[in-house]
């Protein structure tokens, strides 16, 4: 027969084993069913991407002028996000062409939206904005179509002004950092989505090229 001391020792060892097994099971349960703490900045970034993805799906699922307006909404959606995690929102984030200001973050900086062969990147967004403000949104008081060259020039100017209002406004804008004067580590100038010499949003660039292409397609004037 086992002595009382031996029985007590076995009971204690058994309890310890049960506690260890229970702790392992509880830990596995928590790891499976509890979302990890990913940090406030990462959560904000995920929320931005989710909202941009929703706007992207609205564009993908629409046609005609509705698709155009949905694309413009995606292209002009603006966020403030501490991407660098330094406690401020005035720094340059991203790198190279996709450098952007934390307080002027756009969907195309954080998200890729594609449909067929079209990607709503900064370049395509600018083309669509020119076309939209020349032909759809702003010219409603002029009737349908482009009447003549003088009328077309007026619409181009109005479109350019509208684009500048969006990207230079206090409510949206590009933010408080400098996206025009960026340099790389070697001291060379860096073209960004905002300052790229071919398709920039900065003041002075125009919608003339997109307008001429559109006019040639529609034959609204010679």
pLDDT single digits (tens) 133-149: 887 766 544 445 566 66
> Domain-by-domain residue ranges, the chain?
39-218
Q: What average pLDDT does range 49-56 have in this prediction? A: 97
What is the distance between the alpha carbons of residues 125 and 37, in angstroms, rounded to a whole number? 35
pLDDT the model gives residue 207: 81
DSSP assignment letter at 63: -
**The tokens of 56 are what?**
């992207």
pLDDT single digits (tens) 55-80: 999 999 999 889 999 999 999 999 99
pLDDT the model gives residue 170: 76
**The tokens of 206 are what?**
């125009």
When the pLDDT of each residue in the chain is averaged and rounded to a whole number, the result is 79
**Is residue 137 within 8 Å of 67, Cβ to Cβ?**
no
CA distances from 43 to 82, 86, 172, 220 (A): 11, 15, 22, 49
Q: What is the dihedral of CA 37, 38, 42, 45, to 10 degrees?
A: -70
pLDDT single digits (tens) 163-181: 888 888 877 888 999 888 8
pLDDT the model gives residue 142: 45
pLDDT the model gives residue 171: 76
Alpha helices (runs of H) in 136-182, residue ranges in sequence order: 149-168
The enclosing H or E element of 126 equals helix 122-135
What is the distance between the alpha carbons of residues 33 and 219, in angstroms, rounded to a whole number? 61
Using the predicted structure, report yes or no on whether residue 200 has a pLDDT greater than 60.
yes
Question: Does pTM top 0.75 for this prediction?
Answer: no
């Amino acid at each position: 027969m086992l002595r009382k001391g031996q029985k007590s020792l076995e009971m204690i060892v058994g309890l310890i084993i049960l506690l260890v097994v229970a702790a392992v099971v509880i830990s596995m349960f928590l790891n499976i069913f509890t979302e990890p703490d990913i940090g406030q900045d990462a959560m904000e970034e995920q929320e931005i991407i989710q909202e941009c993805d929703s706007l992207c799906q609205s564009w993908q699922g629409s046609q005609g002028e509705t698709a155009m307006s949905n694309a413009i909404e995606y292209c002009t959606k603006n966020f403030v996000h501490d991407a660098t995690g330094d406690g401020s929102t005035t720094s340059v984030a991203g790198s190279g062409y996709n450098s952007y200001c934390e307080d002027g973050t756009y969907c195309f900086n954080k998200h890729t939206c594609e449909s067929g062969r079209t990607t709503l990147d900064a370049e395509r967004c600018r083309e669509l904005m020119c076309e939209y403000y020349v032909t759809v949104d702003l010219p409603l008081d002029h009737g349908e179509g482009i009447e003549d060259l003088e009328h077309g020039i007026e619409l181009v100017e109005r479109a350019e002004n509208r684009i500048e209002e969006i990207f230079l406004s206090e409510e949206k804008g590009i933010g408080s950092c400098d996206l025009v004067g960026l340099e790389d580590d070697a001291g060379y100038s860096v073209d960004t989505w905002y300052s790229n010499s071919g398709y920039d949003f900065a003041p002075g660039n125009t919608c003339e090229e997109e307008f001429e292409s559109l006019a040639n397609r529609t034959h609204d004037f010679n």
